[in-house]
Amino acid sequence: MNSIFGTQAGTEGYGWLMSVNALTVLLMTAFVIHLTLRVSRAISMAIGCLFYVVGFGLYAVCSSLPAFLGATFIWTIGEILLATNGNVFVNQHAPSTHRARFNS
């Protein structure tokens, strides 16, 4: 971001990106989980990966702070989907004798 916005504005912009990430996690986690309750864990994780790809891919073409903020919102939805489904998926597919090892 420093190469686009300069040292001072780039630093402030990065702060905004991380704030959007934190606020999105706080405000959207329950909503996103509710939307995906009836979807399998594997599909939820695939959708999460798609959000990651789109969000981070948009960084390549972003040239304004609002565009960066939108891209951050998108990949954060993917982060929510992967963080809330990853361990559940592993536990569902791991042998009961190995679950503790996989979760450590």
- Asked whether 78 and 52 are in contact (CB, 8 A), the reply is yes
Amino acid at 65: L
Closest C-alpha to 48, from 79, 10, 92: 79
Token pair of 59 as six digits: 């960084």
How far apart (Å, rounded) are the C-alpha atoms in residues 71 and 57? 8
How far apart (Å, rounded) are the C-alpha atoms in residues 63 and 70? 12
How far apart (Å, rounded) are the C-alpha atoms in residues 14 and 18? 6
Which pLDDT value is given to residue 95?
Answer: 83
Q: Could you tell me the pTM of the whole model? A: 0.85
Which pLDDT value is given to residue 1?
Answer: 61
pLDDT digits (tens, 9 = 90+) for 23-75: 999 999 999 999 999 999 999 999 999 999 999 999 999 989 999 999 999 99
Amino acid at 73: F
Looking at residue 13, the DSSP 8-state letter turns out to be H
Phi, psi of 37 (to 5 degrees): -60, -35
